[in-house]
């Protein structure tokens, strides 16, 4: 399944169960169409019997956990929140079945990778970019198996164009590195 070492996960959690990590901004509000889009996506994921893993905070993370809990009623699915202890923005949302707190981003990122079989990246800032690039790099160097990384929304096509124009064209990454990235 994965190449990474076993992370400390509660014993009652089936690490073999399929999970989708959803990364995105903590700053997106509930009245934003992007919030509603992620809420609907997570609801569909839950209805398919798939768990969701987020950073457990507000914004896109809350939308994913909220939609997942609504869609998962009567199903054996879990809405995970891997919460980071920072001074601003990151209070855990109330839509978590399982919450784990982290003091450092590195441990949190590793736990995301340990639990997740696919990644959806919604619009976000520096934290979202960190999560995207960390995932992509671990796939590149085969520290985890190749998992789909789905970039959702209008933010990402320009990012992919930049990657193709600069690092790829200059030989700093390989064409194969692009095979795990999908635009949606």
Sheet with 118-121, edge to edge strand ranges: 98-102, 79-84, 51-54, 19-23, 118-121, 149-151, 181-183
Residue ranges and CATH numbers for the domains of the chain are 19-183 (3.40.50.450)
Residue 1 has what pLDDT?
Answer: 44
Q: Is the pLDDT of residue 19 over 90?
A: yes
List the beta strands (DSSP E) in the chain.
19-23, 51-54, 79-84, 98-102, 118-121, 149-151, 181-183
Q: 75-134: per-residue pLDDT in tens?
A: 999 999 999 988 765 689 999 999 999 999 999 999 999 999 999 999 999 999 999 999
Which residues are CB-neighbours of 23 under 8 A, at least 6 positions away?
54, 55, 60, 119, 120, 121, 122, 124, 127, 128, 131, 132
Q: 104-114: per-residue pLDDT in tens?
A: 999 999 999 99
Question: What does the block give as tokens for 41?
Answer: 């996506």
Share of the chain above pLDDT 70, in %: 92
Question: Which whole number is the average pLDDT over 15-30?
Answer: 95
């Amino acid at each position: 399944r994965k190449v990474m070492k076993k992370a400390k996960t509660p014993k009652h959690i089936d690490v073999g169960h399929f999970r989708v990590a959803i990364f995105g901004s903590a700053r997106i509000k509930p009245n934003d169409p992007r919030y509603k889009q992620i809420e609907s996506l997570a609801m569909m994921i839950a209805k398919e019997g798939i768990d969701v893993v987020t950073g457990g905070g507000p914004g896109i993370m809350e939308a994913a956990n909220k939609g997942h809990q609504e869609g998962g009623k009567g199903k054996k699915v879990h809405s995970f929140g891997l919460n980071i202890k920072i001074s601003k923005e990151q209070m855990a949302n109330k839509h978590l079945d399982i919450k784990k707190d982290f003091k450092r981003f590195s441990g949190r990122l590793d736990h995301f990778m340990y639990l997740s079989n696919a990644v959806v990246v919604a619009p976000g800032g520096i934290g979202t970019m960190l999560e995207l690039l960390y995932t992509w790099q671990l796939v590149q160097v085969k520290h985890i198996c190749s998992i789909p990384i789905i970039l959702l929304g209008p933010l990402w096509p320009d990012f992919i164009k930049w990657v193709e124009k600069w690092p790829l064209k200059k030989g700093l990454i390989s064409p194969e590195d692009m095979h795990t990235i999908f635009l949606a």
